[in-house]
Amino acid sequence: MITALYPGSFDPITNGHLDIAKRASGLFDKTIIGVFATPSKHLTFSLDERVALAKEATKNLPKVEVLPYSSVTVEFAREINATVLVRGLRMVGDFEWEFEMAMMNQLLAPGLETVCFMASQEYQFLSASLVKEVSALGEAGKLKKLAPPHVIEALRKKMLGKK
């Protein structure tokens, strides 16, 4: 039984993240989306909100589960018996950072393998931060191809609340 951990901030979860989770669930017995509590970036959604949005987005994926975590990623992987770390690689920008992290994780937890999925063509230029920027400009409705409806609605509400 192979459990994979797909860690990230998921602020919020997008169709790009979902595509990776679905593809991982085709390969592994169980894929856990690990929502990291305190990433070193400015967050729009609270931990509870990020988890709830990810849970709703994956409710029809029986082999995918969503869990919050606040420890070091490799430590959380050990706690849930994950032997694979899943990451997504977009064409521009991700490689160097993912490579650095994979090397560090290899040092911290030998035996925990990082498996990178190439982002699908339609999501190559999709990032949670871009989705948030567009939403902040009042254009969340135009993001239908990039995030599930409940995420778009949450973005709309969040951005309206801020104004």
| Least distance (Å) between residue 138 CB and ligand ADP | 22
Sequence-distant (6+) residues with CB within 8 A of 4 are 24, 27, 28, 30, 31, 32, 82, 83, 84, 85, 86, 115
Among 4, 5, 8, 47, binds ligand ADP (CB under 6 A): 8
Number of shown-chain residues binding ligand ADP (CB under 6 A): 16
Stretch that binds ligand ADP, among 26-34, 50-58, 105-113, 118-126 (CB under 6 A): 118-126
Quote the CA–CA distance of 17 and 84 in Å, as a whole number. Answer: 17
Q: 91 to each of 37, 59, 98, 126, how far by Cα in Å? A: 27, 29, 12, 11
User: Contact, 76 vs 109, CB < 8 A?
Assistant: no
What is the secondary structure of 101-142 as a DSSP string? HHHHHHHHSTT-EEEEEEPPGGGTT--HHHHHHHHHTT-GGG
Stretch that binds ligand ADP, among 7-15, 25-33, 54-62, 137-145 (CB under 6 A): 7-15
| Least distance (Å) between residue 16 CB and ligand ADP | 2
Cβ distance to ligand ADP smaller for residue 83 or 127: 127
Stretch that binds ligand ADP, among 9-17, 50-58, 62-70, 132-140 (CB under 6 A): 9-17
Among positions 37-66, residues that touch ligand ADP (CB under 6 A) are 39
List contacts with ligand ADP (CB under 6 A).
8-10, 16-17, 20, 39, 87-88, 90, 94, 119, 123, 126-128
